[in-house]
Amino acid sequence: MSTKPVFVATHPRACSTAFERVFMTRRDSLVCEHEPFGDPFYYGPERLGDRFENDPEVRENSGFSQTTYQDILDRFEQDGTSDKRVFIKDMAYYLMPPEGRPPAIAPSVLKSKTNGLANGDSHVNGDAHLNGDHAPNGVKRSGVSEPGNPTVLPLDTLKKFHFTFLIRHPRRAIPSYYRCCVPPQSEVTGFDHFMPNEAGYAELVRLFDYLREQKVVGPAMPGEPKGEGEVSVTVVDADDLLDHPKEVIEAFCKETGIDYNPDMLTWDDPDNQQYVCDVFAKWNGFHNDAINSTKLTARTTAHVSNPSPPRRRNQKFLAPDLETKQKTVTEESENEEWRRKYGDEAAKVIRTTVDENIPPYEYLKSFAMKF
């Protein structure tokens, strides 16, 4: 069974923090890394994201303006030297340039691969300096890529992880993310506008397909016999997690070699709560439901397609707005809800973004574990 660091690759608002919250109860055997690659993606000298490109003050105040991709990998190595296994939950799009821009291995990672021989004179394949070329905005780029690799991490680095995948229907994930990027929630999150290219589904598909092509995962599906060192194709749908939390977590643990304990689904001790608050503080305003919860319990009815069920007051269960559901909704009733909450133009943007991301979601859904 694999003992590699577990990497849960996902997209925004996929209930991934609820999922991660379960494994944060296992501090006896796991070291959880909460969305670490967002630091270099948004803020560091190798940054790929455009969100804070014109706001150097935000980047500097983040505390991550000098954080590189290799810094994150080094942290994994350090955490993995104990007798605990590293558990990473992160966005796939943090590993690749947005808008389909050509990928290149992060300069810091390239430098590390060549044992630090980066003095401006050394080259890779005779054409790229290891200390990184600079884009017009001063961001470092190496100019070195691997055929077919959509990420800024080399294949031999990707092979060090036990990859799994978590998805959620865009009809629920996209409106949830939009809410985090407009007032009043944006005043807390610091994400002051919605960017459709942060939906994350297309990047998740590219990563998924590349890892399958390179046999980093698969071809075995969960429950099927696996060859020596083979990692099954483990895809979890958030609706299954919310409807069947015990079964999903137990099956996930089986596929990843994590010792399952039903106590993982409950967390109400003050020490663990403080630990979670400290870890989640980095992305303030995105994880309130997970922070304020005490357990993960099944929704009270089988899943239907309503993306925004009503919140029940004074509930301590995880994501109370997801716990119960109304009747099935139509596309028009969804549009009307979004118009009422955000206005006509915003509703059009949400609908367009949702529709664009349904095909990649359904593709990944075809690989999801069945419950």
- Give the tens place of pLDDT for each residue, 76-116: 999 987 789 999 999 999 999 998 899 999 999 999 877 54
CA 96 to chain centre: 13
What are 120-146's pLDDT values in tens digits? Answer: 433 343 333 334 455 545 687 878 999
Q: How far does Cα 314 stand from its chain's mean position?
A: 29
Q: Are 131 and 118 in contact (CB under 8 A)?
A: yes
pLDDT in the model for residue 310:
34
Angle between helices 344-365 and 170-180 (to 10 degrees): 140
- When pLDDT is cut at 50, 70 and 90, the band that residue 295 belongs to is confident
How confident is the prediction for the chain on average, in pLDDT? 86
Q: What is the mean pLDDT of residues 39-66?
A: 96
**pLDDT confidence band for 320 (50 / 70 / 90):** very low
Q: What is the CA radius of gyration of the chain?
A: 20
pTM of the model as a whole: 0.86
Domain ranges of the chain: 6-103+145-365, 104-144
Rounded distance, CA 290 to CA 238, Å?
14
Only one residue has tokens 């589904």, namely 201
- Residues 271-285 have pLDDT tens digits of 777 777 777 777 666
pLDDT band at 306 (very low <50, low <70, confident <90, very high): very low
Torsion of CA 219, 222, 223, 225, to 10 degrees: 20
User: What is the pLDDT confidence band of residue 286, given thresholds at 50, 70 and 90?
Assistant: confident
